[in-house]
Amino acid sequence: MLSLLEVLGQGLVNLVRSLHPRRLREFGRRMPLYGPLALRAVKRRPLRHLLVGLCLAAGVVVYLTLSAASHGSAVDVARRTEVLRLPADVLAFGLGGEGARPPEDLAWAAPVGGFEVFDRWEALTSAGRRWVVGLAPDSRLWPAGPDGPSPGPGEALVPRRLAEAAGLEPGDLLQVGVETPLGFSGEAFVVAGLFEAHDDLLAESVLVGLEDSLALRDRLGAGPTGPAGPRPDAVAVWVRSGSTLRQTLRRLESYFPEATLWWEGLPAQVSYRAVGGLLSPARVVKTTVLMLAGLGVFNVMLLSLLQRKTQLGVLKALGAEDDEVFHLLFLEGGLVAAGGLVLGLAGGWAVVRALDVSSELLLMLTPSAAAGAVVLAVACFYMASWLPATLCRRATPVQLMAGRRLYLDPHSTCAQCGRCGGF
């Protein structure tokens, strides 16, 4: 007996072969004969075929309803999410708690870009001879978060890697230059200590106290939209080039756990964050329901075959080719599935409309969801019908007419007695 994988593989090959244009053309030429035959077979057993159609229709209705609910939720969240129009592609994080909003004229922004040492000199300070390193205006500064290292006022923590590259030691003076509308301005910090940075972003950052950082930003002046003033309620940070939105969000959340985050981005990204947990289970549920509908189709199609073995055998005996009988069974099932699909699409639309009107949920049915339902339903039907049709194709007229057990691929020594299975 062939292994299951071999059987499935062969089945896939036969399935593709059955869709060969030549074979379909041949069957198409015989449609005047097989079409009425298929229709007659469907009409003779209306209850059974109604069951098949209803199975598929139910699966499509559930699929469409869940799709509409998922999409509606995502759109709903996106609508309720503030999208800030900022002067640049920035992330804004408010230092307040849940519900805090940034001022509309958010202005302070410090570029979070590359790090560059532009100068290094020795200075005499009250604490002795110290090395001073000047950083470029676009040097990285990072307000220390509550869980991170905390330098005091006028102090800075420097990543060890950076310190070694620049020859810095604790006690050295670090001068940060910032460019303001009025010119270049510098701020000096004492290197209070070195730290091991586990984060790429931190590895190139100099940590200064929050107040110092904010004061430094004050030096930037008015900025594009607002005046310099008291400590702002919000600090804007440019996204580091190369970072992903999700990475940066996570980092900011870790540094500002008490803060409220706002971001400018695609609603889809926001929606994903908000309803990401909902989409995946919904997708699983609706696909599973359609597959269960396919299982119903399979059971009925198989029953239809097994009860008509003799008739199908006679058809073969009279000269119908194996492929023709194969396509005939698909045609019969296809007629019913088409009806079920139409019913399902109409029913799904009606259910979505009814729920949208009668409940607080926002449900939105999209063309892509309808297309997805059609494609999945057709695929489920095809896979469900393939086994019965293949059993019939492979059986000889004698096997069918004698009502013998049918096998997908019986071994040459198999007596087809049915003791080990078969259909």
Interface residues toward another protein, by CB under 8 A: 32-33, 37, 40-41, 44, 310-311, 314-323, 396-398, 401, 412-415, 417
Sign of the torsion formed by the C-alpha atoms of 160, 162, 168 and 171: negative
Specify the length of the chain in residues.
423
Looking at the Cβ atoms of 296 and 313, the one nearer to another protein is 313
Looking at the Cβ atoms of 317 and 354, the one nearer to another protein is 317
Provide, rounded to whole angstroms, the least separation between the CB of residue 44 and another protein. 6
Looking at the Cβ atoms of 33 and 123, the one nearer to another protein is 33
Looking at the Cβ atoms of 266 and 415, the one nearer to another protein is 415
Looking at the Cβ atoms of 85 and 419, the one nearer to another protein is 419
Looking at the Cβ atoms of 165 and 420, the one nearer to another protein is 420
DSSP annotation string for 224-236: TTS---SPPSEEE
CB neighbours of residue 292 within 10 Å: 15
Looking at the Cβ atoms of 371 and 415, the one nearer to another protein is 415
Q: Any idea what DSSP says for residue 404? A: -
Three-state secondary structure call for residue 158: strand
Provide, rounded to whole angstroms, the least separation between the CB of residue 47 and another protein. 16
* Nearest by Cα to 188 from 228, 132, 124: 132
Provide, rounded to whole angstroms, the least separation between the CB of residue 63 and another protein. 34
CB-based contact 71:192 (threshold 8 Å):
no
Task: Give residues with Cβ within 8 angstroms of 293, minimum separation 6.
Answer: 55, 56, 58, 59, 60, 377, 380
Provide, rounded to whole angstroms, the least separation between the CB of residue 66 and another protein. 39
The whole-angstrom separation of Cα 58 and Cα 344 is: 6
Provide, rounded to whole angstroms, the least separation between the CB of residue 339 and another protein. 19
Looking at the Cβ atoms of 97 and 319, the one nearer to another protein is 319
Q: What is the dihedral of CA 380, 386, 387, 390, to 10 degrees?
A: 180
Provide, rounded to whole angstroms, the least separation between the CB of residue 398 and another protein. 5
Reading phi first (left if > 0) and then psi (alpha if -120 to 50, else beta), residue 31 is in alpha
The whole-angstrom separation of Cα 144 and Cα 249 is: 16
| Structural tokens at position 292 | 């269960």
Classify residue 363 as exposed, middle or buried by CB count within 10 Å of its CB (0-12, 13-18, 19+). Answer: buried
- Counting DSSP H helices and E strands in the chain, the numbers are 13, 11
Looking at the Cβ atoms of 291 and 314, the one nearer to another protein is 314
Looking at the Cβ atoms of 40 and 250, the one nearer to another protein is 40
Provide, rounded to whole angstroms, the least separation between the CB of residue 267 and another protein. 56
Beta-bridge partner residues of 187: 176
Looking at the Cβ atoms of 254 and 396, the one nearer to another protein is 396
Provide, rounded to whole angstroms, the least separation between the CB of residue 349 and another protein. 35
* Nearest by Cα to 363 from 31, 75, 42: 75
CB neighbours of residue 303 within 10 Å: 15
Provide, rounded to whole angstroms, the least separation between the CB of residue 12 and another protein. 21
Provide, rounded to whole angstroms, the least separation between the CB of residue 359 and another protein. 47
The whole-angstrom separation of Cα 24 and Cα 27 is: 5
| Structural tokens at position 365 | 């049915």
CA-based angle 333:335:338, to the nearest 5? Answer: 105
Provide, rounded to whole angstroms, the least separation between the CB of residue 414 and another protein. 6
